Amino acid sequence: MYIVHAIMRMEDYDCQFCGRTATNFVFAAFVCDSAECIEKARIERGGPGGHMKRKAQGLPIVIDNDDQ
């Protein structure tokens, strides 16, 4: 078995935030080398955690035999 890496021609893409040639693909966005643009991509994606902040509520496991 071997892994085939998809070759992405970055020069075919522009940074989604400043329009320069993209050199990175981060947070599902094409961005240039600018830390600002990478940060924007991160924020647009929902920031650290994003929707994952809504943690599943840890409901206690209770064995209830009252129904019997």
Tell me how far apart the alpha carbons of residues 24 and 51 are, in angstroms, rounded to a whole number. 24
Among 29, 30, 32, 38, binds Zn ion (CB under 5 A): 32
- Residue 33 CB, shortest distance to Zn ion, in Å, is 8
Q: Which residue has the tokens 């830390």?
A: 35
Stretch that binds Zn ion, among 1-9, 37-45, 50-58, 59-67 (CB under 5 A): 37-45
Q: What are phi and psi of 9, to 5 degrees?
A: -85, 90
Instruction: Look at the chain and count its residues.
Output: 68
Pick 8 or 18: Cβ nearer Zn ion: 18
- Residue 56 CB, shortest distance to Zn ion, in Å, is 36
